[in-house]
Amino acid sequence: MPVRLLEQSLIEVRRAAVRALVELGPHVRAIERKWRSVLRRSHLSPQALRILAKLDLSAGLRQLEEVTDRSLFSRLSGLGEEFAEAGVWIEQALASANLLLEQCLAYLRGAPADALSVTRLFDLGCVAVAGGYSRYWETSQRTVLKQLAETRQRLHGASAYVTEVYENERRRLSHDLHDEIGHDLMLLKLHLEMMRMDAKNGASRLRPKIDEALNVVSHAIDSTRRLVLDLGPAIFDELGFVPAIRFYLQQFSQRTGIHVTLRETSVPDEIPMSHQVALYRVLQGALSNVLQHARAKNVTIELGSANDKAIRMAIEDDGAGFDPSAPKRVGSVGLTAMRERVSVLGGTFEIASARTGALKRRHGTRIDVEVPLPKTKGRAGAAHTQRARAAGKS
């Protein structure tokens, strides 16, 4: 019932009901004792019984005579909020009110008009109390949602911090592999090749062993390069983001035999390292799933941006596909980790997949990622320059 309509109804009912309740004045203490006795025999929770038993009916009757109509509605609504906050269920509160009404009506059997007025007042009072419950629940819900949003924000902040520490450690390890172990292996391979050249002049027995050692070193160099690529960020410093992506895709294609196509469209020159790492990790995870589960022959990657406001990446394969709504297998956290990396940066992560079937024209999996780019002075200045040049030409 709308608040204004409820208030108007209270105004109409209150006067007649108050006159009837005044007649009950001499019997209030008896009504109160019987009501509490009935409450103790009912199935109320101990908390509800303790709170309801404290209500003073005599004081309530005096307030009913003294307060204004609007104030009466506010007090009844506030009583509902107090009950809700104290943990009294709305069913228990309304049932207790009905028990009280029964005790009052027992003394109004000879006055049907007064009994009707009191009943109507009780009904409207119950509606007002229920409105207080509703308002309390709405306020509690807003509070919980606010706390949930704050918790999610703190969780994202903690996740971003852990990710940064994790990526810095991988970056350090990648540099060590590339700068120390990689260089040492290259130097060792050079010495072995010189020894093999010297073995042509005499020590023919050493040549097979040197060739075997060269094969081992070459394999170690390839493994080190693969580890450096998997670790990621160090290669960004050496090649740049897009060239590093190209190099990784080339190595992946050579290693797996899966044909990979990269399509670039307006890739920004300046991409924050956090975004580079996130996109690189999503690409790694997606290609890992393609290799392990999809049985795909072709993969297409689209990379670009629109108006330098966001960077987008789409990864699509022609593999077996799967059901994204199916329950995740135990230990399957790849997609969850990708989605979390993108979510921390305020981006979106969408996945669509279709299983292979005789009647289906297309099958496979597509992942779409979009991450907003932060506004920088350089980017804003470039946009201003472009607008100025366009205005000059016109």
Is 37 within a domain?
A: yes
pLDDT digits (tens, 9 = 90+) for 44-92: 777 777 777 777 777 777 666 666 656 777 777 888 888 888 888 888 8
Which string of DSSP letters, residue by residue, matches 147-176? HHHHHHHHHHHHHHHHHHHHHHHHHHHHHH
Tokens of 271: 């991409």
Looking up residue 121, the CATH number of its domain turns out to be 1.10.490
Q: Is the pLDDT of residue 148 over 50?
A: yes
Domain boundary pick from 128, 147, 166: 147
Residue 304 pLDDT > 70, yes or no? yes
Spatial contact of 133 and 84, defined as CB atoms under 8 Å apart? yes
Give which of 21, 43, 48, 45 is closest to 103, Cα–Cα. 21
Residue range 371-381: average pLDDT? Answer: 66
Q: What is the mean pLDDT of residues 247-275?
A: 89
Domain shared by 131 and 260, yes or no? no
User: Can you tell me the mean pLDDT for 143-152?
Assistant: 80
Name the least confident of 24-33, 168-177, 247-256, 306-315. Answer: 168-177
Q: Decide if 214 is inside a domain.
A: no
- CA–CA separation, 350 vs 183, rounded Å? 41
Return d(Cα 142, Cα 35) in angstroms, integer.
36
Q: 138 and 22: one domain?
A: yes
- Predicted confidence (pLDDT) at residue 358 exceeds the cutoff of 50: no
Residues 382 and 275 in one domain: yes
Which of 147, 176, 206 is the last residue in one of the domains? 147
Whether 135 and 255 share a structural domain: no
Residue pair 215/185 in contact by the 8 Å Cβ criterion = no
Is 369 contained in some domain?
yes
**With pLDDT > 70 as the criterion, what percentage of the chain qualifies?**
71
Structurally, the chain folds into a number of domains equal to 2
Catalogue the E-assigned strands of 254-374.
Answer: 259-265, 298-306, 310-317, 348-354, 364-372
**Domain that includes residue 255, residue range:** 240-393
Q: Which of 19-23, 139-143, 370-374 has the lowest mean pLDDT?
A: 19-23
pLDDT of residue 176: 61
Q: Using alpha carbons only, give the angle 55, 58, 63 rounded to the nearest 5 degrees.
A: 90
pLDDT confidence band for 210 (50 / 70 / 90): confident
pTM higher than the cut 0.75:
no
